[in-house]
DNA sequence: GATTAATCGAGACGGTACGTCAAGTCTTGAT
DNA sequence: ATCAAGACTTGACGTACCGTCTCGATTAATC
């Protein structure tokens, strides 16, 4: 998977996609125009959320960004690579971690903000990638690392703080609650035609998460 | 969306995809060979589960079924249409409804069998379609009707029988439990690299569903 | 090459296309509808003179004649076969042989009538076939036998009568004159945009044919 | 009709096909690879003379030239267009104009070389196009301009030199002789199974053309 | 009069070529 | 070495046609 500002040939697969931003060694010729990165990613995002992954064409992205296709392929190896990087780029540091002293308040805050984030263009883009996951291990890894894990980790920390505060019983099924939470958000986002809104989040917290945690 | 054995132009969109099998009004020419329907659907299923949706080509399906491409396009409007119909066709009547007199036993039975069904080729195919849902309203409707609703309905009936038997408190959050169940299955199937197996199902029932129902 | 009213499998290649009309042995089932022959030939002729050989489709011919394609293929082996037979059918007995006692009058009469015949639909059809001649030996043979030879023979007889009457010197280059005549008619018909009309025929006779014959 | 190195949309129909070679206005992208033009034309010529016009497929031409089909369609609008251009390209400057001081020698020289040219692949290709002439006015114009007119013009000049030298009577039917000559060559080339060889040319000159010119 | 078999229109069938379009690579001149 | 532009190969797309086959419905000759 190509990495922005790194020679395509360099293999640094072990790194996280998130830390992809990196500079070319030094170079003798004209330096890369960093503004093209942003323009291309934005173009990709626009096209992706408008027509979906399958109907996204590299020519369309190039045209949207008034760029040449080579300028894209100099940065990313493939259409898939471009889309992955574009999406993960946006997820980074978009996950706030509330700490208001109450597990119920923290849960609500976090889920509401995460839900509204998923409702945006990133959510649409993510959905477009789901179909590719089984046949693209790299994509699958990146997807989990960028979309699933961070949300999971924040959530787990929230709950653990609640445990330490004594709000939650010690033997609460944390893993299960975390999984349920992620699953329900994604489910509504991608499969159901029901809204992923505040009402839903509140109901989820009150009827499922809190009861399970309180035992 | 084209319907087998009905002229493509005929609009009977209101019907369920499941009941799609239908005969042309009268027709004086050579009738459609019903065995081609099956052969094509099977070929589509094979190719789909082998290489995924994006890499599935109509030529490959045609070759697999020893059919001409026109024979495919006579029945379905597009690659997407073929795949949708092929999948929904398979989901029908694959959902058993256990009734062993105990909500816990019924839940376990049902989830185990549904999970193993999802793990099969149909699940793989379904995943390939998720990315298209936002841009294909018809597909979305068919998907929900075939994949989501039947499972939901069976589950709800299971729970309601439990309520009637007095196993479950009357004010249990049935809708939420139903949604959680579906969401968790799909989540594991499509997004996580963790297995959708018996252990997972049992844990889900014991740690989440039963507690929520018992209150 | 198939022959009307004869089983396709019967090989009677030695016969002239012209004598193609022939009856099936006896047969037990429903007899061929002779009126379909004519309808199909006429339909073929119409389509051929309208859109040319390449753009002629069997479906179009069938539709024009309100016939099924099988009804065509029962009579002719292929598109080419149909067209050949249709054309040669029309050439037969369309070549009058004038005998007014003067070579000049006979020549003029004959060429005028032949020219007007060529100007009709048969000429258009014939032109459509020229491109196939090099790759279809059977067609080439039929074409020569039906289009070229009869005209040549009549012409040669006309000239020989002139020789016998003493109008023409005995050592006139008859073969060459005959060839020139045919060549010039075809040339104007197929390649030139100049008309194949009475004026042209008269000029040909006066400026070329008669001088050559008189020496 | 498309023109090499000119955008297909540009309408410069008034120009001769022969002068078709032309450069795009300025163009900032990668310029057309001129070597592909030649490779494609040669491939077309090879396929054409091997299998004929009808059996010529664009895929075959592309494969022969190791080119993509898009590369063909970027230059020519259709199979017919490709073939026309390929042929007319070859005719240009293939017509020598002998001047040995004697009409008889000049005629013989010219006809022999033209006949041997026609006997080659270009002649075969030309034949394949005759059937399309009535339905393709552009083709017809190009065909006449490339195949018919140049030969006619050279011939007429030959004869006129003979007139000026006093070899030929002033009132010789030049037009008719010219037309006869072209007609007889084409006739043998395309319709007859008799050879278009030296013997035929000599006979034509001796028995028809010279007598008509000498009166 | 019932049977039989070949015909009829209609149109589905396998196959092949069509002309279009997208992915990813390469080549211009210019910066 | 980069940029925009766009030509390049490859390969799938969905359409159209050929020649074959299959359906129900005629239509004679045979039984």
Would you give the distance in Å from CA C210 to the centre of its chain? Answer: 26
Contact indicator for B187, A183 with CB cutoff of 8 Å: yes
Q: How far is CA A32 from CA A11, A12, A75, B21, D127, in A?
A: 20, 20, 10, 58, 57
The domain segmentation of chain D, as residue ranges, is 17-90, 95-214
- How much is the pLDDT for C100? 94
Handedness of CA D162, D168, D171, D172 (dihedral sign): negative
Distance (Å, whole) CA C77 – CA C1: 6
Distance (Å, whole) CA B212 – CA C15: 92
Q: Which of residues 66-95 of B touch strand F (CB under 7 A)?
A: 68-70, 73, 78-79
Distance (Å, whole) CA D148 – CA B185: 77
Q: Is C83 on the interface with D (CB under 8 A)?
A: no
Distance (Å, whole) CA A118 – CA A125: 10
Q: What is the mean pLDDT of each run of 10 residues along chain C (215 residues)?
A: 42 34 61 94 92 91 96 94 87 82 95 92 85 84 88 94 94 96 97 95 97 90
- How much is the pLDDT for C161? 95
Q: Is C149 on the interface with D (CB under 8 A)?
A: no
Handedness of CA D195, D47, C84, C19 (dihedral sign): positive
Share of residues in chain A with pLDDT > 70 (%): 86
Distance (Å, whole) CA C148 – CA A169: 106
Q: Note the pLDDT tens digit of each residue in D68-82.
A: 999 999 999 988 889
- Token digits of residue B57: 């080509």
SS (H, E, C) C103-162: HHHHHHHHHHHHHHHHHCHHHHHHHHHHCCHHHCHHHHHHHHHHHHHHHHHHHHHHHHHH
Whether the pLDDT of residue B7 is over 50: the answer is no
- Token digits of residue D80: 């017919």
Cβ pair A182:B187 closer than 8 A: yes
Task: Assess whether the region D17-90 and the region D95-214 belong to the same CATH fold.
Answer: yes
Cβ pair B173:A128 closer than 8 A: no
- The whole-model pTM stands at 0.78
Contact indicator for C155, C110 with CB cutoff of 8 Å: yes
Note the CA–C1' distance, C20 to E8, in angstroms: 23
Cβ contacts of D56-63, under 8 Å, gap ≥ 24: D56/D83, D58/D82
Whether the pLDDT of residue D27 is over 80: the answer is no
C80, closest nucleotide (Cα–C1') = F18
- How much is the pLDDT for B114? 93
d(CA C74, nearest CA chain D) in Å: 24
Q: Which of residues 16-45 of A touch strand F (CB under 7 A)?
A: 24, 27-33, 36
Q: How far is CA C147 from CA C91, D13, D73, D159, in A?
A: 7, 36, 38, 33
* Most C CBs within 10 Å, among D125, D187, D214, D215, to test the C interface: D187
Better-scored residue on pLDDT, D189 or B145 = D189
**Average pLDDT over every residue of A64-92:** 91
Which ranges of chain C does DSSP label H, i.e. alpha helix? Answer: 34-55, 58-64, 69-73, 79-91, 103-119, 121-130, 137-143, 149-165, 174-190, 198-204, 210-214
CATH fold of the domain at B30-89: Arc Repressor Mutant, subunit A (1.10.10)
- Token digits of residue A106: 């923290």
Contact indicator for D86, D44 with CB cutoff of 8 Å: yes
Q: Note the pLDDT tens digit of each residue in B98-110.
A: 999 999 999 999 9
- How much is the pLDDT for A27? 63
DSSP element (H, E) containing B139:
helix B137-143
For the domain with range C92-214, which CATH number is right: 1.10.357.10, 3.30.450.90, 1.10.3720.10, 3.40.50.300? 1.10.357.10
Distance (Å, whole) CA A97 – CA C29: 88
Distance (Å, whole) CA B215 – CA C153: 109
- How much is the pLDDT for D38? 93
Which residue matches tokens 């995924």? Answer: B52
Which class does domain C32-79 fall in?
mainly alpha
Q: Beta carbon of D29 within 7 Å of strand E?
A: yes
Distance (Å, whole) CA C62 – CA C73: 10
Whether the pLDDT of residue B194 is over 80: the answer is yes
Widest pairwise Cα distance in chain A: 65
Share of residues in chain A with pLDDT > 90 (%): 57
Which residues neighbour C20 within 8 Å (Cβ) at sequence distance 6 or greater? C3, C4, C85, C88, C89
C54, closest nucleotide (Cα–C1') = F17
> Pick from C173, B188, B190: which is nearest to D200 by CA?
C173
DSSP letters for chain A: ---TTS-TT---TTS-GGG-----S--SSPPP-HHHHHHHHHHHHHHHHHHHHHH--HHHHHHHTT--HHHHHTT-SSHHHHHHHHHHHHHTT-------S-HHHHHHHHHHHHHHHHHSHHHHHHHHHHTTGGG-HHHHHHHIIIIIHHHHHHHHHHHHHHHHHTSS-TT--HHHHHHHHHHHHHIIIII-SS--SHHHHHHHIIIIIHHHHH-
Does the domain at D95-214 match CATH 1.10.357.10? Answer given as yes
Distance (Å, whole) CA C169 – CA C191: 33
Better-scored residue on pLDDT, D15 or D169 = D169
Distance (Å, whole) CA B151 – CA B96: 10
Compare all CA atoms of chain A with the CA of B142 and give the residue at the minimum distance.
A191
Burial D7-37 (b: 16+ CB within 10 A, else e): eeeeeeeeeebbebeeeeeeeeeeebeeebb
- How much is the pLDDT for A123? 86
* Most A CBs within 10 Å, among B56, B80, B191, B199, to test the A interface: B191
State the CB neighbour count (10 A cutoff) for residue C194: 11
DSSP element (H, E) containing D51:
helix D34-55
Q: Is C124 on the interface with D (CB under 8 A)?
A: yes
DSSP letters for B174-211: HHHHHHHHHHHHHHHHHT-SS--SHHHHHHHIIIIIHH
Note the CA–C1' distance, C70 to F28, in angstroms: 20
CATH fold of the domain at D17-90: Tetracycline Repressor; domain 2 (1.10.357)
pLDDT confidence band for D22 (50 / 70 / 90): very low
CATH fold of the domain at A17-86: Tetracycline Repressor; domain 2 (1.10.357)
Contacts of A186 in chain B (CB under 8 A): 183, 186-187, 191
Question: Judging by beta carbons within 10 Å of its beta carbon (0-12, 13-18, 19+), is residue C59 exposed, middle or buried?
Answer: exposed
3-state secondary structure of B76: coil
Side-chain half-sphere CA neighbours of B37 within 13 A: 17
State the CB neighbour count (10 A cutoff) for residue B122: 22
Q: What angle do helix axes C121-130 and D121-130 make, rounded to 10 degrees?
A: 150
Whether the pLDDT of residue B176 is over 70: the answer is yes
- The mean of the pLDDT values for chain B is 85
Question: Judging by beta carbons within 10 Å of its beta carbon (0-12, 13-18, 19+), is residue C189 exposed, middle or buried?
Answer: middle
Contact indicator for A142, A131 with CB cutoff of 8 Å: no
Q: Any contact of A with C, at least 3 CB pairs below 8 A?
A: no
CATH fold of the domain at A93-214: Tetracycline Repressor; domain 2 (1.10.357)
CATH fold of the domain at B97-214: Tetracycline Repressor; domain 2 (1.10.357)
State the CB neighbour count (10 A cutoff) for residue D191: 22
Share of residues in chain C with pLDDT > 70 (%): 86
DSSP 8-state assignment for residue B27: -
Handedness of CA C160, C164, C168, C169 (dihedral sign): positive
Compare all CA atoms of chain C with the CA of D50 and give the residue at the minimum distance.
C135
- The mean of the pLDDT values for chain D is 84
Q: Is A58 on the interface with B (CB under 8 A)?
A: no
């Amino acid at each position: 998977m190509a990495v922005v500002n790194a020679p395509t040939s360099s293999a640094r697969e072990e790194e996280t996609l998130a830390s992809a931003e990196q500079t070319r060694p030094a170079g003798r010729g004209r330096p890369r125009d960093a503004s093209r990165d942003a323009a291309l990613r934005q173009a990709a995002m626009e096209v992706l959320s408008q027509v979906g992954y399958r109907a996204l064409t590299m020519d369309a992205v190039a045209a949207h960004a008034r760029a040449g296709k080579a300028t894209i392929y100099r940065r990313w190896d493939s259409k898939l690579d471009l889309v992955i990087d574009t999406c993960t780029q946006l997820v980074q540091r978009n996950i706030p971690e509330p700490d208001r002293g109450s597990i119920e308040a923290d849960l609500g805050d976090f889920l509401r903000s995460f839900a509204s984030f998923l409702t945006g263009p990133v959510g649409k883009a993510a959905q477009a990638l789901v179909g590719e996951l089984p046949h693209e291990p790299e994509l699958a890894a990146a997807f989990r690392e960028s979309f699933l894990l961070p949300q999971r980790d924040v959530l787990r920390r929230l709950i653990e703080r609640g445990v330490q505060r004594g709000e939650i019983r010690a033997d609460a099924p944390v893993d299960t609650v975390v999984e349920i939470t992620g699953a329900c958000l994604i489910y509504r986002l991608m499969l159901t035609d029901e809204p992923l809104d505040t009402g839903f989040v509140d109901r989820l917290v009150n009827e499922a998460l809190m009861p399970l945690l309180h035992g």
